[in-house]
Structure 1
């Protein structure tokens, strides 16, 4: 197994540099039918697909989110901009959190800020969170370089034919452990949210 470590690191960093989010201004200000919502999400989040056949959002998913109290029900079968914002949060959370945790996390938002006609609404919350996340990309790239360097320095005494695979395995283990620890922290934070008690 031959892995060009320089190309792999550059590829990873390139992917990180392209991370972006759906801007609230890009979401239509008119209410959308379900098909329009799924089409919008597919178009806007297509770069996050791992495989071409992966579904970003289906009608069944949206119906299940509404049934499980993650998403307020549509009004006359139409979804507002705020519904789309909540669906974006769900899309990102569902890869690491349980449905119950997502419900606990989003419930205070939907209770207090959904359809709130004020300067401080769901759109402003979404924009604030996204701007914070965007500023985290550069430090994340630096951290990735460090993790990558440690992994490439590992297994120096391994047989030549196995070293590249073991270094690659070491990199995946380091990143997986990081995700595992952060997931545990997120779950503890959700469990300790005062509004949920």
Structure 2
């Protein structure tokens, strides 16, 4: 099997859109798409894949995954949210992403929350996650190799790949399911509104 370290290197796991790469001035949709394509093209599985398209952005807007734009221009805050959406959609449904980002969008629009700080924290955590992932993958590779060696089959290389794929997907599913449970425990927008109404009644 191809050296696992080389495969991980080909993933370009540290390829993230950084804050300093996001302009402070408003951008039109085509400019937003160009920034994401230029930065994240190495992360694509296939050359013909698109990092971001007009349809995707329009769907995010219709689904209220980010707060409304002004004068057809996207602010730096919008780019931060779109970058988070890009990462989250690898594991979560659009509805789950909406629930996850709903309060953050509200804090940005109502409280002028500095979303750049939370994005910086996310980038730091991503660096730690890459180190953790590299170590966990090495352990998984060694465990799979031990299992396959006991099978003593002539197709050991294929079986090693098969078990490693299944093991990695299993681990991915465990993380995804926990993330979904965390989403399920987030307060829904309607629940927040009901609580606000209840508090107003108590105060009156």
Match of 2:14 among 16, 19, 36: 19
User: What displacement does 1:115 show?
Assistant: 7.8
1:55 aligns to what? Answer: 50
Query: Post-superposition shift, 1:91?
Result: 0.7
The correspondence for 1:110, drawn from 93, 105, 111, is 105
Residues 98 and 23 of structure 1: CA distance in aligned 2, closer, same or farther (over 3 Å): same
* CA shift for structure 1 position 74: 1.7
Q: 1:45-194 to 2 correspondence within 5 Å?
A: 45-114=40-109, 117=112, 121-156=114-149, 157-160=151-154, 162-194=155-187
Q: Aligned pairs, how many?
A: 189
Q: Can you give the 5+ residue segments of structure 1 that lack an aligned partner in the other structure?
A: none
Q: What RMSD over aligned residues (CA atoms) do the two structures have, in Å?
A: 1.8
* Secondary structure of the corresponding residue to residue 145 of structure 1: helix
Larger Rg: 1 or 2?
A: 2
CA contact (8 A) 2:15 2:39 kept: no
More helix by share: 2
Identify which of structures 1 and 2 has the higher relative contact order when contacts are C-alpha pairs closer than 8 Å and 6+ apart.
1
The Cα shift of 1:147 comes to 0.3
- Alpha-carbon distance, 1:114 to partner: 4.3
Q: Does 1:39 align with 2:34?
A: yes
- Aligned to 1:89, what secondary structure does the other structure show? helix
Correspondence for 2:194: none
Residues 18, 182 of structure 1: alpha-carbon distance in 2 compared, 3 angstrom cutoff: closer
